[in-house]
Structure 1
């Protein structure tokens, strides 16, 4: 069976590292992006140079119409999706709750919670045996913030990732008997440009010295865990979380 992988938010950081690693493991890859077409094409070029088939597709994961279009394009250009990495996410500048706007909170939940739920829904419509599928694997990219809470900084972000963790557990049990596994990774301080969304692009460099391992992590280290969970090597793992946080 061909392995067809969709990576949401796949144009950079953890998503791009996952695409490059998947390229050498036999996947056909869809790199989803929201707005940076050039970054997505750069990642796709790297994937193709490694010998894998890759396409780039723009879609807002919080919009079901766009998600339906994304999956339909993958059906026609790569084949029926068998693997999904829900990596797309958003963050906002550090703030206390009393200073957060309704718009900020809703955007956080729509992107970080509803988005993965919608993408999982449309993946399941292709993976479930009752819909003609043969099973599959889903990995959600959560965050260590889900269990730390991010008080005084990003409680809304932490809450969204906590909700994603609960979704991971529930969905994993819902589809476990149908040859579909659902797992998650929880990165901590990782060197990517995601932190620029918080207004502090150098956040990891400033704080890594306080970690038990004394350093921040790399996107490639997170990608290794994601690809293991996606693979048959993790065939007995579902509802599982891998923390990648240097001992934090």
Structure 2
């Protein structure tokens, strides 16, 4: 048995793809969501169809009490062995930094940075040998925006993902001796509803020519990288950030 995996933002897009592929690899899955319970339940049913246990748990990852409840609920299906910090938002509207509302920037930082911190903290408290755990692995979902800057659209989002990468490196060093590996993937442009939801329905087509591979990624392609980092095949990888941007 691969163990229990918590995937934040697991009801749609990259998160859902991770859940579905992880079920095929033998993981029991806790699907975290915030608003779309129908999508979360659909992922749960798919996981169960693979013969694995699954739960859908609502939690805003920026809320400390809700995150604690998420991990306490996850214990109902077994000891935690893996975490994917996938939940993330770009903000209310795209645009230059000087056009952004501070409320939007604060919300992005709350979800994308504080959320990763809170979930990682709960995971370490359950997986670390320091707390009597058996070890495990954490994968944080960053973005190539952390390196590219996302000028003219989401500089604050890019900054939040740079913080995720720094947190990945530091936490990896802290818990390496406690049988926990911490890595990140940094997807580029991916075929999800994020772009249309952020008010940029043509973004995939617009950016495709700038990608050396000539197309956006499919969520399943990102999931494959995440599952590798979670697996024993990546046993000597910790503190790494794996870019998956099609060469961009």
> What TM-score do you get using the length of structure 1 for normalisation?
0.97
Which residue pairs with 1:112 in the alignment?
Answer: 112
Instruction: Kindly tell me the number of residue pairs found equivalent between the two proteins.
Output: 247
What aligned pairs does 1:1-248 form with structure 2 within 5 A after superposition? Answer: 3-75=3-75, 77-92=76-91, 93-248=93-248
- CA-to-aligned-CA distance 1:31-53 (integer Å, 9 cap, x gap): 00011000101111111112211
CA distance in 1, matches of 2:224, 2:2: 21
Task: Please tell me the root mean square deviation across aligned C-alpha atoms, in Å.
Answer: 1.0
**1:102 Cα deviation from its structure 2 partner:** 1.3
- Partner of 1:82, secondary structure, is strand
Does structure 1 retain, via aligned residues, the 8 Å contact 2:20–2:46?
yes
> What TM-score do you get using the length of structure 2 for normalisation?
0.97
**1:197 Cα deviation from its structure 2 partner:** 3.2
CA distance in 2, matches of 1:230, 1:201: 32
CA distance in 2, matches of 1:167, 1:247: 24
Does structure 2 retain, via aligned residues, the 8 Å contact 1:145–1:158?
yes
CA distance in 1, matches of 2:201, 2:33: 20
- Partner of 2:84, secondary structure, is strand
CA distance in 1, matches of 2:143, 2:197: 15
Does structure 1 retain, via aligned residues, the 8 Å contact 2:2–2:25?
no
**1:69 Cα deviation from its structure 2 partner:** 0.8
- Partner of 1:153, secondary structure, is coil
**1:2 Cα deviation from its structure 2 partner:** 5.3
Runs of 4+ in 1 over 6 A off after TM superposition: none
**1:132 Cα deviation from its structure 2 partner:** 1.2
Larger mean CA deviation between 212-221 and 190-199 belongs to 190-199
CA distance in 1, matches of 2:112, 2:97: 18
Does structure 2 retain, via aligned residues, the 8 Å contact 1:90–1:197?
no
CA distance in 2, matches of 1:58, 1:212: 38
Structure 2 residue runs without a partner (length 5+): none
- Partner of 1:190, secondary structure, is coil
- Partner of 1:52, secondary structure, is coil
